[in-house]
Amino acid sequence: MDIAEIRSQFPLLDQTIHGQPLAYLDSGATAQKPACVIDAEADFYRTINAGVHRGAHELAARSTEAYEQARYEVARLVGAHFGDGDDELVVTGGATAGLNLLANAFDHASLDGIEPFALHPGDEVVVSRAEHHSVLLPFQELCRRTGATLRWLDLDAEGRIRTDEESLAEAITERAKVVAFTHISNVTGAITDVAAIVARAHAVGALVVLDACQSVPHIAVDFHALDVDFAAFSAHKMYGPTGVGFLYGRRELLEKLPPVNFGGSMVELAWMEKPAQYMAPPAKFEAGTQPVAQVVAAGVAARWMREIGLGAIEEHEKTLVPALLELQDIDGVHVLGPLSAESRIGTVAFEIDGVHPHDVGQFIDSRGIAIRVGHHCAQPVHRHFGYYASNRVSLGVYNTPEEIERLKDAVRDVRGFFTR
């Protein structure tokens, strides 16, 4: 892969910060956008903008086509079915919005007794200690409201979700109805053994919800092959725009799942004196005007990723991981997560003895290097390692070995500066 050529497609990367060339190592928070994605959003407004799925004029038709074409591009990226009557991707306001939609739909289903989603006291919902707050909290709330019990899969010393038979049998019991977990931790970068959890969950008849936010941008993901029932991911981490995400659901489940947002564009027949008749999925989950320009741009991002090749993206990022993991050889640095390059992506969180992450981030920023500091919206996994916050590097397809070396040089100098 020609990294210089790839980088040239990202206008933002070509700038200096504090007098140094920008090294953007925070793609786990949000990825930068190639020019084709930025242009797609603007071009939509310049040439096509119109309401989708309504109106008889030409622009409305083109707008609808562009919107559905985007759904198709994203569906191809993640191995979801596409097409009228087959669609398995619902447009959401982001991954967090998608996960909340799902948890709220389970809540509605519990009220109306709609199986296989309904939760009652005695039922269990299982997450893991590695979850982002956007998985933990919607399902914790769901339990609180339905009377179901929240359980969780614990982590091993490296921060990987324990998927040995004993751990799985202990956390996922016959009472489990939903098992929700992350495909890749946004803190440790560890890739979860999805197959092991899915096998156990399905053996006890539980639905599987996958948080795919950190996997879709980095590795080839096929929801059918993974055999998960639902999955959520966001566009902005996969080189697309903010404000858009997608909720995947197996078609027959999306058909049974009750809607949670009500209004325009999701109803077939509405009356004054009786309940409305809702449209088929995905429309029944997409009430109101959607962020159409952003969805269109997300489709362009998905196609852009496929054209580069998921294998090439994964391979490139993988080649940088060993150098990145050399962080642990620096005096006073501790990596929170797997220390080998196996079954992990280029997301590495670390601590520096005696220097608070906020100070580390400030120091590293002064060298023009952008990393994330804080708890990365995953407090329990930090507590697992005995910390509140950490420093996190997360790679994108545009990062180079030179940037990793600059980062390590900066990290080496941190303690000297703060103990001068």
Partner 1 sequence: MYDELEQMYQEVILEASKAPHGKQSFAADITSAASEQASSAAQTVRAEHEACVSAQSHQFNPTCGDEVTVRVELSDGTNGEPIRIENLIWDGQGCSISQASLSIMYDLVQGKTLDEAMELSRTFKKLMESRGAGLDDDAAEEALDDAIVFQGVSKYPMRIKCALLGWEGLKDSAAIALTQMTK
Kindly list the residues in this chain that would bind partner 1 in the complex (CB under 8 A).
18-20, 355-359, 362-363, 366-368, 373-375, 380, 382-383, 386-389, 417-420
Is 377 an annotated catalytic residue?
Answer: yes
Helix (H) or strand (E) holding 59: helix 58-78
The residues, ordered by sequence, that sit 6+ positions from 195 with a Cβ below 8 Å of its Cβ are: 226, 227
Question: 196-210: b or e for each residue (b if 16 or more CB lie within 10 Å)?
Answer: bbbebbeebebbbbb
Backbone angles phi, psi at 178, to 5 degrees: -135, 135
Rank residues 40 and 355 by Cβ distance to partner 1 and give the closer one.
355
Distances (CA, A) of 312 to 127, 216, 235, 272, 409: 32, 14, 20, 56, 28
Q: Which is nearer to partner 1, 274 or 420 (CB)?
A: 420
Shortest distance, position 126 Cβ to partner 1, whole Å: 17
Planar angle of CA 388, 391, 394, nearest 5 degrees = 130
| Minimum CB–partner distance for residue 376 and partner 1 (Å) | 11
For residue 101, which of 249, 299, 278 has the smallest C-alpha distance? 249
CB of 358 to partner 1, least distance (A): 4
Is the CB of 113 or the CB of 386 nearer to partner 1? 386
Q: How far is the CB of 406 from partner 1 (least distance, A)?
A: 13
d(CA 201, CA 172): 7
Nearest alpha carbon to residue 321 among 285, 284, 346, 287: 346
How many other CB atoms are found less than 10 A from the CB of residue 182? 29
Reduce the DSSP state of residue 375 to 3 states and report it. Answer: coil
**Active-site residue, selected from the candidate residues 36, 143, 213, 377:** 377
Give the residue with the Cβ less far from partner 1, 200 or 382.
Answer: 382
Q: How far is the CB of 92 from partner 1 (least distance, A)?
A: 25
The residue (of 303 and 367) whose beta carbon lies closer to partner 1 is 367
User: In the complex, what is the shortest distance from the CB of residue 333 to partner 1, in angstroms, rounded to a whole number?
Assistant: 17
Residue 340 in tokens: 């080998």
DSSP letter assigned to residue 155: B
Q: Output the smallest distance, CB 21 to partner 1, in A.
A: 12
3-state class percentages of the chain: helix first, strand second, coil last, to nearest 5: 45, 20, 40
Helices assigned H by DSSP within 265-400: 292-308, 310-325, 357-365, 379-384
Please choose, from the candidates 181, 184, 159, the residue with its C-alpha nearest in 3D space to the C-alpha of residue 172: 181
Residues tagged active-site: 377
